[in-house]
Structures are given as C-alpha cells and as structure tokens.
Structure 1
Amino acid sequence: MIVLLVNINILVDNGVNECHIASTLCSKPSTLTVTPIKFKSVVQEAKEMGFDPCKGMLMVAIYALGSMAKPTLKRKFEAFKKFTWSDDEISEPFRRYPSFIRLSVDNLMVTMDFLVNKMGCSPSFIAKRPRLLLMSMEKKIVSRFLFAWDLLSKGVIKNINLHALLETSEHLFIEKFVNCYKPEEASRMLKLYHEKLDLSKNLRMDGYKLQHL
C-alpha cells in the first residue's frame, strides 16, 4: 500500500490527471506496484520521449516501459534498425501506440520482415501504423496479402492499396474486395479468400515458410 501511495504521488507531482491514475488502478494496477525508484525513472523516461502527462497515453507508456528491463527494450529498438528505421521512425510508433513494444523480438521481426520485404511497406508507413505489428499474421496479414496478390497476378486489380488491404475491418474488407463484384463472381472471390485464410493458418509463423510464399 505504501509503494502504491508513493507512486501515485509521483504521478501527481508530474502533472498526471487523477482520472488517468484511477483508470490505470482499475485496468492495470500492476503498473503502480513497482519500486518507487524505478517508477520515478520510468515516468521521467516516458516524459522525455514526448508523452504528455495530461493525456492517458502516458500511463500506457509507463506500463509498457515498466513491464520490461531496459536491456530488453533497447534490444527491441535496435532490432528495428535492421530495417533501416531512423531514430525518429523507431520512437514514433512507440509514441503512437506504446503497447506494441511488449511483443517479443521474434514476433516483431517476423511481422516486420513480411510487411517490408514481401508486401513492400516502407518503414515510415509502418511507423505511422504500429497497430499493424499487433495484427494476426495468420488471420489477417498473410491471408489478405495472398488474396490480393492472386488478384493482382491475374489482372483482376491493377495495384494493391496497403491501407485498404490491412487497416479495414473484416466486414469492410469483404465489401471492398469481394462483394463489389457481381453475385457469381463475388461467390468465387469469397471462396478464393477462404482458401487463402486456410493456407495462412497452416503456415508456421517462424519466418521460414513466409520467405517461400
């Protein structure tokens, strides 16, 4: 209880809104149970990274930073440099959506490799959309890519809109890429899409089979 109160006072002293503190206590109480010395350091680090104490995203960043050791966090940031991310491109996705950094290095690298080397996504495109790194490879990214690539190779579509392909809900995706055709053709498209879903679910997401798609 003493640790909790000390950490709450640290947040208040740093200008964090009480409603954000209360929300964190309800949803992720473990955020506030680390040692005060570490907690104060994490709060300062989050502020130095550009998080506004008046906004709830600061608490998300504190949770993400406080849940892992600094060497682990550094290793994850360093891993992105393999894909030619600049320092700004590495920090931008964390500022936009801090939770993405809690993924394992292996998962981050497999997803990044596929998005960059298979789908042709630029580092800046991904940096502005860190939620892409949290999407299911099997259920969304790979299946949609295989489906769109099939349509592209057959001349059904002329290009792939990455935003429409990756960032739409399942319902909107079906409407845009399947139901836009006449009923008979739409039925064939839906069957093809389900085939790609089944194929992607059977792939090992360890990078090997993905490289050979």
Structure 2
Amino acid sequence: MLVLAFDTATPAVTAALHDGERVLAEHTTIDARRHGELLAPTIELVLAEARATLRDVTAVVAGSGPGPYTGLRVGLMTAQGLATTLGVPAYGVCTLDALAYGSGLTEPFLAATDARRKEVFWARYADLRTRLDGPAVDRPADVPADGLPVIGAGADLYRGVLDAKGHEAPPYPYAGSLAALAVERLAAGAPLDPARPIYLRRPDAVVPGAPKKVLAPGESGRATA
C-alpha cells in the first residue's frame, strides 16, 4: 500500500505519502493564494523524498473541505485526475476530520478553520476520530462551542470569541494526519467517500450580469412617443 494524500482546503498546501504503517514523507507550505502553483511541486517533493514514483501509488486521498471554492477544487481535481491516470481509487476525507485527528485529543472539542467573510467552518468531535456535529459554517459568535476547547486556525483567528483553552494542536490539517486517518479507516473496512467537495455556501465568484447598454452620442436613453 502506498497512499498519496494532500489537502488544499486551507492556506496549507500539504502532501504526504503513507505506506500503511507510517508516514514516509510530508511537506507543507502555507500560502493562501498559490494552491494551483504549489500542489504539483509538493507532490513531486514527497515522492522524491520517499524514493517513490506516481506509478507506485495505490490510492489517492484528498481533503474534501469545507474550504474556499478556488483552493478546494485544486486538490480535488488533482485527485480525480491522478486516480484516472493511475487507475487507482480516489477518496475524499473531510478536512476538519484531518485537523481533529492531528490534534490527538481524546476529549470533546471543536475544530474550526477560516471560512473568510468573517466566518469559520467548524465541526464538533467526541474525540480525535469521532465527529458528532457538522461540518457547518457560521460567524464565530454563533458557533455552539458550549465551553469546549476549539482548535485550528479558526480559533486562532478569533481567539477572543472561540477559546482555545491552551491546547497545543496544529492550526491546519496536515497531509500526514489526513493520510494516517484514511489508512486507519481503510484498514478497519470503513467506507470512504469519493473525492468530491463539501460546499457549505455559494462560491465568492459570480457570473457577471449582462453588460449595460452603451448609448451613442446624443442619445438620452429615454423612450419617445
């Protein structure tokens, strides 16, 4: 088994290789604007570090969000394209699940990432493996934390509203955790979702409306009898 995992649903462009027992290589760059530029070189880097090639990969796993539309689709389209080319399955794992798994927490908590527009994507967990609620998107003040610790960059960004309570957890879902979680679920026979996006709201970009009519010189634009 050789699982290639990556996530582009947050500012962390992250990729890792897992052989079914351990993470062989992992690399992450924090850059919210260059997902498309950075993902392929990052994949090449972890393959080289592990002394593997794409033809050695037996499964592809991508973070399925939630996340901003543009970044999220980079990872998922790459996963689908690689899986088709290599003839291997492509799976999607909730990005917040990977963040939670990487925390190592065994008590109830929330995971939150930046959703922009002064909102966060969040989910509630019983422990690092068990999601109880979400994913959802809300303003920080409307997240039902109920006194629980909140991990992730969303908590760091709105620390005055979402209390991190001193827990030292990764701010982003790193690909090593994503790969390890996927491998664990596969080994347990748990079904994995296809590599499809989790969208919780409409994308920021919209289709432009019809252009306004340009009047010729001397035209007033008023109807005449």
TM-score bracket for the superposition, by shorter chain length: under 0.3
More strand by share: 2
More helix by share: 1
* TM-score when normalising by structure 1: 0.23
Larger relative contact order (Cα-Cα within 8 Å, sequence gap ≥ 6)? 2
* TM-score when normalising by structure 2: 0.22
